[in-house]
């Protein structure tokens, strides 16, 4: 659960160094807005260039299920963000997958699905 909080906090702070340490090199996110695939370098690049900024992220009802060295976190969020100069708000359900590597939790996969109004 702490790794998931670190992820959201790093997004809010555009904390590229924190994200670089937390997110696995082969990380893959399915984007909540378009359903496209976003890798680690694309995510970190958009944040560091200021192309993507998060104004607020409120996570609700997070649940963690652990299976040995794998943890799956599910919940839902309310996010306000700006991408390419365009502000948007979105509510989404999410699934985050973490694996324990060398004693540390690494974020390997994320899926976001918009919650219809």
pLDDT digits (tens, 9 = 90+) for 62-84: 999 999 999 999 999 999 999 98
pLDDT for position 33 = 83
pLDDT for position 116 = 86
pLDDT for position 56 = 97
Higher pLDDT, 1 or 16: 16
- C-alpha distance across the termini of the chain, in Å: 28
Q: Give pTM, 2 decimals.
A: 0.92
Cα of 72 vs its chain's centroid, Å:
13
Mean pLDDT of the chain: 95
Whether 117 has a pLDDT exceeding 80, the answer reads: no
pLDDT (average), residues 78-105 = 95
pLDDT for position 101 = 94
Count of structural domains within the chain: 1
Q: Which domain holds residue 101?
A: 2-114
At 7-31, the pLDDT tens digits run 999 999 999 999 999 999 999 999 8
- For residue 18, the domain's CATH number is 3.10.450.50
CB distance 106 to 99 below 8 Å: yes
Q: What percent of the chain is predicted at pLDDT more than 90?
A: 91
Per the structure block, which two tokens stand in for 17?
Answer: 């160094």
Whether 2 has a pLDDT exceeding 80, the answer reads: yes
**E-strand stretches of the chain:** 23-30, 37-39, 52-67, 70-83, 86-101, 104-114
């Amino acid at each position: 659960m702490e790794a998931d909080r670190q992820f959201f906090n790093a997004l809010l702070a555009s904390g590229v160094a924190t994200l670089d340490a937390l997110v696995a090199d082969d990380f893959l996110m399915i984007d909540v807005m378009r359903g496209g695939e976003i890798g680690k370098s694309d995510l970190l690049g958009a944040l560091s260039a200021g192309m993507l900024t998060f104004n607020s992220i409120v996570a609700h009802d997070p649940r963690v299920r652990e299976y040995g060295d794998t943890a799956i976190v599910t919940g839902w969020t309310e996010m306000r963000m700006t991408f390419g100069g365009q502000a948007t708000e979105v509510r989404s359900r999410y699934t985050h997958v973490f694996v324990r590597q060398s004693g540390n939790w690494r974020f390997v996969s994320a899926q976001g699905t918009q919650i219809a109004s």
